[in-house]
Amino acid sequence: MEQENTRDKDFYWKLFKSTFLISTFTVGGGYVIVPLLKAKFVDEYHWLDDKETLTLVSVAQSAPGVVAVNAAIIMGYKMAGLRGAFCATFATVLPPLITLTIISYFYSFFASNHYMQIVLKGMQCGATALIIQVMYDLLKKQWSKKVAFPIMITLGTFIANYFFNFNMMYIVLVDALIGLFLLQDKKYE
Minimum CB distance to another protein, residue 63 (Å): 5
* Cβ contact 89:76 at 8 Å: yes
Minimum CB distance to another protein, residue 127 (Å): 6
Round to whole Å and give the CA distance between 179 and 183.
5
Q: At what angle do helices 114-144 and 148-162 cross, to 10 degrees?
A: 150
Nearer to another protein, 13 or 139 (CB): 139
Q: At what angle do helices 50-62 and 114-144 cross, to 10 degrees?
A: 120
Minimum CB distance to another protein, residue 102 (Å): 10
Nearer to another protein, 12 or 134 (CB): 134
Nearest to 6 by CA among 117, 98, 80: 80
Minimum CB distance to another protein, residue 15 (Å): 13
